[in-house]
Amino acid sequence: MNVDLIPILTQSYTFLPDQSLLISELGEGLIHETLLIEGKTKKWVLQGFNEAVFNFPERIDYNLTLLNTHSKTHSLPFLLPLPILNSAGKGLTKIGGKNYRLFDFVEGKTLQLIENPNQAFLAAQAYGEFANWAKDIRGEAMQETIPNFHRLDLRFQKLEEVSHSRKKLSSEEREILDFYLKQKPLIDWYLAQINELPIRVTHNDTKINNLIFAEDLSKVEALIDLDTLMGGFLMYDFGDLVRTVTCTSPETSTNWEEIQLIPEIFEELLKGYWEGVKGIATSNEAKSLIFGGEIMTLIMGLRFFTDHLQGNVYYRVSYPEQNFHRAKNQLIFLKSQQDSRELLIRIWEKGTGLSY
Ligand code: GN1
Ligand code: MG
Alpha helices, H only, the chain: 5-12, 57-73, 117-133, 152-165, 171-181, 184-194, 234-245, 263-277, 283-309, 322-339, 341-352
Domain 117-352's class? alpha beta
CA of 41 to the centre of ligand 1 (A): 31
Residue nearest to atom 18 of ligand 1 (CA): 30
Say yes or no: CB of residue 31 within 6 Å of ligand 1: yes
Distance 211 CA to ligand 2 centre (A): 8
Q: Which residues, including other chains, have CB under 8 Å from residue 308's CB and lie 6 or more apart?
A: 321, 323, 324, 327
Task: Report d(CA 250, CA 70) in Å as an integer.
Answer: 34
Residue 102, SS3?
strand
Nearest CA to ligand 1 atom 12: 30
* CA atoms of 228 and 231, how far apart (whole Å): 9
Q: How many C-beta atoms lie closer than 10 Å to residue 34's C-beta?
A: 17
Domain 2-104 of CATH type 3.30.200.20 = yes
Atom from ligand 1 closest to the CA of residue 225: 5
Kindly provide the ipTM of the predicted complex, given to two decimals: 0.97
Q: Report pLDDT digits (tens) over 146-183.
A: 999 999 999 999 999 999 887 789 999 999 999 999 99
Give the mean model confidence (pLDDT) for residues 239-249: 97
pTM, whole model, 2 decimals? 0.95
> What is the maximal distance between C-alpha atoms in the chain?
62
Expressed in angstroms and rounded, the spacing between residue 49 Cα and the centre of ligand 2 is: 12
User: pLDDT, tens digit, for every residue of 113-138?
Assistant: 999 999 999 999 999 999 999 999 99
Sorting pLDDT into bands at 50, 70 and 90, what band is 1? low
Q: How confident is the model at residue 304 (pLDDT cuts 50, 70, 90)?
A: very high
Atom of ligand 1 nearest to the CA of 50: 11
- Ligand at minimal distance from the CA of 240 is 1
What are 183-215's pLDDT values in tens digits?
999 999 999 999 999 999 999 999 999 999 999
What share of the chain has pLDDT > 70, as a percent? 99
What separation in Å is there between the alpha carbon of 225 and the centre of ligand 1?
9
Q: Where do the CATH 3.90.1200.10 domains begin and end in the chain?
A: 117-352
| Torsion sign (Cα): 112, 116, 117, 119 | negative
> What's the pLDDT score for residue 29?
83
What is the atom index within ligand 1 of the atom nearest the CA of 296? 14
Q: How far does the centroid of ligand 1 lie from the alpha carbon of residue 181, in Å?
A: 22
Q: What pLDDT, on a 0 to 100 scale, did the predictor assign at position 254? A: 98
Point out the ligand nearest to the CA of residue 243: 1
pLDDT-derived band at 3 (thresholds 50, 70, 90) equals low
Beta carbon of 33 within 6 Å of any ligand 1 atom = no
Residue 250 Cα, ligand 2 centroid: separation in angstroms?
14
Amino acid at 85: L
Who surrounds ion ligand 2 at CB < 5 A? 29, 210, 225
CA 151 to each of CA 156, 158, 302, 338: distance values in angstroms, whole numbers, following the listed order: 9, 11, 11, 20
Contact 303, 314 (CB under 8 A): yes
Q: What is the pLDDT of residue 336?
A: 98
Q: Which of 234, 147, 251, 142 has its CA nearest to residue 194?
A: 234
Query: Following CA atoms 233, 227, 247, 127 in sequence, which dihedral angle do they give, to the nearest 10 degrees?
Result: -60
User: Is residue 300 in contact with ligand 1, taking CB distance under 6 Å?
Assistant: yes
Write out the residue limits of the CATH 3.30.200.20 domain(s) in the chain: 2-104
Ligand 1 contact, 317 CB (< 6 A): no
Asked whether the predicted pLDDT for residue 2 surpasses 60, the reply is no
